[in-house]
Amino acid sequence: MNKGLFITFEGADGCGKTTQLMKLAKYLTEKNFEVVITREPGAKGLGEKLREILLNYDGEVSSQAEAFLFLADRAQHMDVIVKPTVNAGKIVLCDRHTDSSVAYQGYGRGLDIERINMLNDIATGGRKPDLTFVFDVDVETSMARVGKEKDRMESAGMEFFDRVRNGYLKIAEKEPCRVKVIDATRSIDDIHKNVVAEITAII
C-alpha cells in the first residue's frame, strides 16, 4: 500500500471510541498495515501543553478562546504529525478531530457552525479525513460510562451532551460518504465488526 489514510473517531465522551480505535489498530497491524494512533487534543509536544489547559484549567475560559485552543492544537497536529505520516503511506487513526469542534464548540457551546467550519479548514489546510466514525450512544449511557470523576469538558452537563450528540448526527447527515454513524450501544465485538466492515470497503 502506498497511499496513506486518515481515519477519525468521534462521539460524545464515554461513547467507547477509544476502545474501538485500539481494536482497529490491532486488527490492521495484524494485516500488515503500518498504523499510527494519535489524538486531539494533545498528541505530543506542544499539544500536550494545550491539552493540559483545555481539560484541567479551572479558571474562566470563554467559548471562543476554548475553540481557538482546540484549533491551535489541531493546526500543530496536522502539520507536525498527521500530514507527514499519511504522506509516508501510513494509516493514521485519530481520536477526535474537526467534527469535535463542530459538535462541542458549535452545537454544544452555541458558536456559529459555518465559522467553525471555516476555522477548521484553515487549521487543517483543507485536508479532510478519508473516513470518520461517529459512535452514537444515548447521553445517559455515555455519562454513566464517564463516571463521577469528570474533567472540565465532561462537567458541562446532560443538556450540553444532548446537543453534542445531535450535532454529530447532523454532521453525518450532511456528509454521509465520509461520516459513518455506528450504533455504540451494542457489544464491543459487534461494534468492532461494524468498524472492520466499513474499513474493508476503503482499503
Q: Which range, of 21-29, 97-105, 131-139, 179-187, touches ligand TYD by CB under 6 A?
A: 97-105
Burial 85-121 (b: 16+ CB within 10 A, else e): bbeeebbbbbbbbbbbbbbbbbbbbebebeebeebbe
Which x/- pattern, by CB under 6 A, does the window 41-70 give for ligand TYD? x-------------x--------------x
The H-or-E segment that residue 123 falls in is: helix 113-124
Binding to ligand TYD by residue 96, rule CB under 6 A? yes
The H-or-E segment that residue 39 falls in is: strand 35-39
CB burial class (10 A; 0-12, 13-18, 19+) of residue 127?
middle
In the complex with ligand TYD, which residue's Cβ is closer, 1 or 65? 65
* Separation between Cα atoms, residue 39 and residue 99, nearest integer Å: 13
CB of 27 to ligand TYD, least distance (A): 20
* Separation between Cα atoms, residue 38 and residue 157, nearest integer Å: 27
Among 20, 101, 124, 194, binds ligand TYD (CB under 6 A): 101
CB of 104 to ligand TYD, least distance (A): 3
Which x/- pattern, by CB under 6 A, does the window 148-187 give for ligand TYD? -----xx---------------------------------
* Separation between Cα atoms, residue 168 and residue 28, nearest integer Å: 26
Q: Which range, of 19-27, 83-91, 101-109, 187-195, touches ligand TYD by CB under 6 A?
A: 101-109
Pair 72, 119: CB distance under 8 Å: no
In the complex with ligand TYD, which residue's Cβ is closer, 37 or 203? 37
Q: Which range, of 82-90, 92-100, 131-139, 165-173, touches ligand TYD by CB under 6 A?
A: 92-100
Q: Which residues bind ligand TYD (CB under 6 A)?
A: 13, 18, 40-41, 55, 70, 95-96, 100-101, 104-105, 153-154
